[in-house]
Amino acid sequence: MGDDHRAFLDATLPYIDVVYQVARHAAISGQDPEDLVQETYLRAFAAFDSHRGENTRAWLAAICLNAARSEGRRRRRRPPEVLAQELLDALPMTHADAARDVADVVIAGLDARAITRCLGQLPEPQRLCIVLMDVAGYTARETAEALGCPRGTVLARVHRGRRKLAQLLADAGVSHGRS
């Protein structure tokens, strides 16, 4: 397995951005999303021999979600921790936003915090579908593969989840994103 790591990295590193999107929203409280991405890749590397030929993006998402669940089970045996990840997520961005108006960036940051909070109120199946499709950019088929459910179920869940999310945001007085 050792000498396969180049092939593994060539096949998987192009998807690190989408895996990071999944990790940010799958990570449990107290878990660093970057640690989760790394754990995902280490698990994927260990299983790479049995993977080849399948949809790599979906495969990585499934591993990431499983790794987050494993960590969640492990941490349930420990005292709860408080992490400021949600606050960090809400901070204005530094890359693409560099040229944007400061007020827009701050408003977007506030909206992101509200959206994250509202997203967290959705049932997990709907939330995961939204994270995979609308945040990370997975197709419905890839999402179905990652979650191990039919594509039609994914479409139904993401539709219900989006509507519920929009309603929660409206109730919270967040207008950004409303048409």
Task: Mark 4-33 with x for binding to another protein (rule: CB under 8 A) and - for no binding.
Answer: xxx-xx---x--xx-xxx--xx------x-
Phi, psi (deg, nearest 5) at residue 39: -60, -40
3-class DSSP assignment, residue 47: coil
- Spatial separation of the C-alpha atoms in residues 147 and 150, rounded to whole Å: 9
Which range in 56-64, 79-87, 106-114, 142-150 contacts another protein by CB under 8 A? 106-114
Could you say whether residue 57 binds another protein (CB under 8 A)? Answer: no
Please check whether residue 21 is in contact with residue 64, taking contact to mean a CB–CB distance below 8 angstroms.
no
Question: Taking the chain, what is the end-to-end CA distance rounded to the nearest angstrom?
Answer: 51
Near another protein in 141-170, by CB under 8 A: 152, 155-156, 158-167, 169
Helices (H), 76-101: 85-90
| Residue 136 DSSP symbol | S
- Interface residue with another protein among 79, 87, 95, 171 (CB under 8 A) is 95
Q: Radius of gyration over alpha carbons of the chain, in Å?
A: 17
Q: Which two tokens stand for residue 49?
A: 């021999």
Least distance in angstroms from the C-beta of 133 to another protein: 8
- Does residue number 178 form part of the binding site for another protein (CB under 8 A)? yes
Q: Does 131 bind another protein (CB under 8 A)?
A: yes
| Residues in touch with another protein (CB under 8 A) | 1-6, 8-9, 13, 16-17, 19-21, 24-25, 32, 34-35, 37-39, 41-42, 45-46, 89, 93, 95-96, 108, 111-112, 115-116, 118-119, 130-131, 134-136, 140, 152, 155-156, 158-167, 169, 174, 176-179
